[in-house]
């Protein structure tokens, strides 16, 4: 009976040690994540093997696993940039990105978990300053928003494509100009719109006038041709045809042939 406690104590200690070892060795990689293994007594960061995938893993207790989110992520960046004429512009951009899965070990080894702060954000700031510096405030405010967005995306992508970061999209959410510049641009745009509307009304009125002139000229030409083609003989023939038709009417009473000034028949007693 006295020996039981002495035998049970090592067992309890062994169980505790096993629990600690298992706890240190067990690693769970969550959904949308991947792990980078660091071998303390090996070559350090494992870069020649695929990252650890989602699920439960057992590793040596003296090794470490660094977990990265590999889904698409978003970072919102607000910055001050200068236009082509040196005016201060506030730009707000949303960046969609994710680390390159197959290069996750290299990303951790060279950039660390701070890769967004050390690589991505400086890249987007540099690209935005470079692109916006090519345009005037008026272009930034009105016509060139989509072009600026695409150019910032392309320039940022060139910077980060060799940094193990996959850039998916850059969205320019807002461009804020100095109030005085914004008001001046809005007034100018309004004046241009009013000018375009006035020019449109003038063109419409001119086309309507041209249409009326063409119709009048056509009618005049038609009358001229008709007048030129009407001879006395034709008029007499048409008068005779009309007389024949009238004579067939039940209301016609007396027809006098050849009594008019032009020799056309006269109809008497027409009711």
Can you give the pLDDT at residue 89? 85
Q: At residue 182, does pLDDT exceed 70?
A: no
More confident residue, 220 or 33: 33
Q: How confident is the model at residue 193 (pLDDT cuts 50, 70, 90)?
A: low
Q: At residue 144, does pLDDT exceed 50?
A: yes
* CA proximity to 149, closest of 122, 176, 177, 169: 169
Q: How confident is the model at residue 123 (pLDDT cuts 50, 70, 90)?
A: very high
Q: At residue 51, does pLDDT exceed 70?
A: yes
Which position has the token pair 């001050």? 80
Question: How many Å apart are CA 83 and CA 138, to the nearest integer?
Answer: 10
Any idea how long the chain is? 271
Q: How confident is the model at residue 226 (pLDDT cuts 50, 70, 90)?
A: low
% of the chain at pLDDT higher than 90: 34
What does pLDDT average to over the chain?
A: 79
Q: Which two tokens stand for residue 71?
A: 């889904």
Question: How many Å apart are CA 93 and CA 98, to the nearest integer?
Answer: 16
* CA proximity to 129, closest of 168, 97, 90: 90
Q: At residue 189, does pLDDT exceed 50?
A: yes
More confident residue, 196 or 186: 196
Question: How many Å apart are CA 218 and CA 28, to the nearest integer?
Answer: 90
């Amino acid at each position: 009976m006295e020996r039981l406690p002495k035998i049970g104590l090592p067992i309890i200690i062994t169980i505790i040690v096993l629990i600690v070892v298992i706890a240190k060795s067990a690693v769970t990689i969550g959904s949308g994540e991947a792990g980078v293994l660091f071998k303390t007594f090996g070559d350090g960061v494992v870069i020649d093997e695929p990252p650890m995938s989602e699920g439960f893993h057992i590793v040596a207790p003296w090794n470490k696993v660094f977990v990265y989110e590999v889904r698409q992520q978003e970072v919102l960046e607000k910055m001050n940039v200068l236009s082509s004429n040196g005016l201060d512009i506030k730009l707000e951009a949303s960046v969609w990105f994710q680390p390159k899965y197959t290069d996750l070990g290299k990303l951790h080894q060279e950039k660390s978990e701070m890769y967004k702060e050390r690589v991505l954000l400086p890249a987007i700031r540099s690209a935005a300053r470079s692109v916006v510096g090519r345009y005037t405030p008026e272009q930034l405010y009105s016509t060139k928003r989509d072009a600026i967005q695409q150019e910032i995306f392309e320039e940022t992508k060139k910077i980060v494509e060799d940094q193990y970061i996959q850039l998916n999209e850059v969205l320019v959410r807002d461009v804020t100009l100095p109030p005085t510049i914004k008001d001046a641009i809005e007034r100018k745009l309004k004046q241009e719109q009013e000018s375009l509307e006035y020019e449109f009304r003038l063109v419409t009125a001119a086309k309507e006038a041209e249409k009326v002139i063409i119709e009048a000229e056509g009618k005049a030409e038609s009358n001229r041709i008709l007048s030129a083609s009407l001879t006395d003989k034709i008029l007499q023939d048409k008068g005779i045809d009309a007389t024949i038709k009238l004579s067939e009417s039940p209301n016609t009473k007396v027809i006098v042939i050849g009594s008019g000034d032009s020799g056309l028949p006269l109809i008497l007693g027409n009711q």
